[in-house]
Amino acid sequence: MEITRTRFRTLLPAAIAAAALAAALALAPAASAQNFASYVSIGDSLAAGVVNIGLVDDAQERSVPALIARQAGAPRFDMPLVSDPGIPPLLAITGFNGATPVIVPRSGTPGSPLNLNLPRPYDNLAVYGFDVHDVVATVTGNAVIDLVLRGQGTALQQAAVQQPTFATVWIGNNDVLGAATSGIVVDGVTLTPVASFTQDLRTILGTLSGAGADLAVATLPNVTAIPFVATVPPFVVNPATGQPVIGPNGQPIPLIGPSGPLGAGDRVLLTATGFLAQGIGIPAQLGGTGQPLPDSAVLSVGEMAAIQARTAALNAAIRQAASDFGAAVVPIDTFFDQIVARGYPVGGGITLTTAFLTGGIFSYDGVHPTPLGYAVVANLWIDSINERFGGSIAPVNLIPFLFGPDGSAGGTIELPGLSTGTPIFSAAAYEALRLGLRTPKTEELLRIKERRERRRSPQGPGERLVPSRPGAPASPSLRGERAGGRG
């Protein structure tokens, strides 16, 4: 179901009444069987509370770890808070009143740190753009890393030195996400090898457990089903009606991808919206240029399968490590699959979905949740912690996230023109997302991909075929890219 302001107003009385049926939504924080006297969080942008590509205090204070800390009655939970408009500046949608909506950064000037001088490590040590290896190895590299770690050691070191009694670990999304958002699957670069992932994850859990912490660790969602990947159809859409253009064979006319007409199983990324607005990817007979969409704007069936297979393998490693260290497992993977398939009912006839901009769960970047989406996920964490450790942490009250603290319809907007198409995801918006996720530039990824393809296929007389080494160290230029702001 698509949720709009009008829809919320209509359903408000019923939804508030439905809170009685879901008493769990309105319970106050309760005591936990676990000791949250010293609670730390390890993770990436999801654990940091990134929304609309940026870190900003209002969202950080409603991040999943912050909500867990509040519900569990943790005596403290300090975070690297950032003032509005965020770091990087959050996205906005412009171009209404008949113009094509465009998603862009809403400011050229970022926000500022609000508690940079905290005289001890932060409790939320999740770092935007971190993969699992960064947690154990990275100390500096860009402004966001320095904002969180402040040159005081790795995230793992700073977590362990606090002698945590409880720790949550939500890491690994960037070990597969770069392949989905860049449209370029390169093993060892945009996909982390399973062996190295497993080793680093076990180091994280072993170190935190050895420091005295009980643990909860989350699995990874299917990143090929997030709105950034799953919103734009692989066929031509009539902008006036929002419906597919049907060909003489009675089937939708496919867009043109790097290797020809796209198949039904191929995926077109949000970054393709700018190209499509120029007619790129659209057949000439329909008024397009007839030029193909670039490789970076499309995921083929094979690339989708590679990402999904790697995600499944990493999830198996997460579950095994969690079992070995006695951690609670938060099944983000199966939970997200259920929401994709059926939505998430919250009572009163309202069902949240993964629909881009209108479903209520994902923010403007198509990758990170809204505060409401994070609150829903926080309750999954709380359920998993309670189940594993016999706790009684109360769930988060979703009503303020749905309607605002006074019960009025808030937190959603009507977006004129969305009924007939997707806004253009601007190049500036993608570049900000790329830098935040620390994904290498498209040109560098394509060079690596082409080099590997040449190694697998002799290009001419006298050329020696060099076997590819999956997981081999990145080239010096790529290492520099990763260190300076990968993705």
pLDDT in tens, 380-415: 999 999 999 999 999 999 988 887 654 443 344 334
pLDDT at 239: 82
Chain segment 39-95, per-residue pLDDT in tens: 999 999 999 999 999 999 999 999 999 999 999 999 999 999 999 999 999 999 987
Q: Is 159 left (phi over 0), alpha (psi -120 to 50) or beta?
A: alpha
pLDDT at 29: 45
Distance CA 23, CA 18 (A): 9
Share of the chain above pLDDT 70, in %: 82
- Asked if the model's pLDDT at residue 463 lies above 60, the reply is no
- Asked if the model's pLDDT at residue 302 lies above 90, the reply is yes
Share of the chain above pLDDT 90, in %: 76
pLDDT at 412: 40
pLDDT at 462: 39
Q: Scanning the structure block, which residue is given the tokens 């509040």? A: 70
Query: CB–CB of 298/233 below 8 Å?
Result: no
- Asked if the model's pLDDT at residue 457 lies above 50, the reply is yes
Q: How many CA atoms lie within 13 A of 180 on its CB side?
A: 25
Arithmetic mean of pLDDT, 210-227: 98
SS (H, E, C) the chain: CCCCHHHHHHHHHHHHHHHHHCHHHHCCCCCCCCCCCCEEEEECHHHHCCECCEECHHHHCCCHHHHHHHHHCCCCCCCCCECCCCECCCEEEECCCCCCCEEEECCCCCCCECCCCCCCCCCECCCCCCCHHHHHHCCCCCHHHHHHHCCCCCHHHHHHCCCCCEEEEECCCHHHHHHHHHCCCCECCCECCHHHHHHHHHHHHHHHHHCCCEEEEECCCCHHHCHHHHCECCECECCCCCCECECCCCCECECEECCEECCCCCEECCCHHHHHHCCCCCCHHHCCCCCCCCHHHEECHHHHHHHHHHHHHHHHHHHHHHHHCCCEEECHHHHHHHHHHHCEEEECCEEEECCCCCCECECCCCCCECHHHHHHHHHHHHHHHHHHHCCCCCCCCCHHHHHCCCCCCCCCCCCCCHHHCCCEECHHHHHHHHHHHCCCCHHHHHHHHHHHHHHHCCCCCCCCCCCCCCCCCCCHHHHHHHHHHCC
* Least trusted range by pLDDT, from 142-151, 330-339, 343-352, 470-479: 470-479
Q: Give the distance from CA 415 to its chain's centroid.
A: 22
Q: Give the distance from CA 299 to its chain's centroid.
A: 17
pLDDT at 23: 38
Phi and psi torsions of 280, nearest 5°: -75, 135
Q: Which fold has domain 5-228+301-418?
A: Rossmann fold (3.40.50)
Residue with the larger pLDDT of the pair 460 and 260? 260
Q: Give the distance from CA 483 to its chain's centroid.
A: 21
Chain segment 237-275, per-residue pLDDT in tens: 988 888 999 999 999 999 999 999 999 999 999 999 999
- Asked if the model's pLDDT at residue 2 lies above 60, the reply is no
pLDDT at 402: 86
pLDDT at 95: 77
Chain segment 189-200, per-residue pLDDT in tens: 999 999 999 999
pLDDT tier at 10 (50, 70, 90 boundaries)? very low
- Asked if the model's pLDDT at residue 5 lies above 50, the reply is no
pLDDT at 459: 52
Mean pLDDT, the chain, as a whole number? 86
pLDDT tier at 100 (50, 70, 90 boundaries)? confident
Residue with the larger pLDDT of the pair 307 and 482? 307
Sheet-wide strand order for 328-330: 39-43, 166-170, 214-218, 328-330
